[in-house]
Amino acid sequence: MVNVVERYGNEIKQLSHDERIELAALILSSLKQDSEPAIPSRKKRPIGLAEGQFVVPADFNDPLPDELLDAFEGK
């Protein structure tokens, strides 16, 4: 079987960047529609399986320190 890039490589190279992205999105969406779900549906897990294994800290909802906020903002 001939690789798609080998067969259409010259045509693909002539596409603009935006056209290549559009082509990739089209291919991915068609593959997604044709494929079956990767993970079959399972029963829901019961609530409380990890009870007592993690405690939410009291300061969980406090504002982040300025240096951490700056790091997220790229400062």
The average pLDDT across 55-71 equals 91
- pTM of the full predicted structure? 0.37
Q: How many folded domains does the chain comprise?
A: 1
**Which range of residues forms the domain containing residue 14?**
1-35
**pLDDT band at residue 43 using 50, 70 and 90 as cut-offs:** confident
**Tens of pLDDT, residues 15-41:** 888 888 888 888 888 777 666 666 666
Do the domain assignments include residue 5?
Answer: yes
Query: Using CA atoms, how far apart are residues 71 and 75, in angstroms rounded to an integer?
Result: 6
Burial of residue 49, with CB atoms counted within 10 A of its CB: 0-12 exposed, 13-18 middle, 19 or more buried: exposed
Query: Using CA atoms, how far apart are residues 7 and 29, in angstroms rounded to an integer?
Result: 21
Do the domain assignments include residue 68?
Answer: no
Cβ-based neighbour number of residue 12 at 10 Å: 14
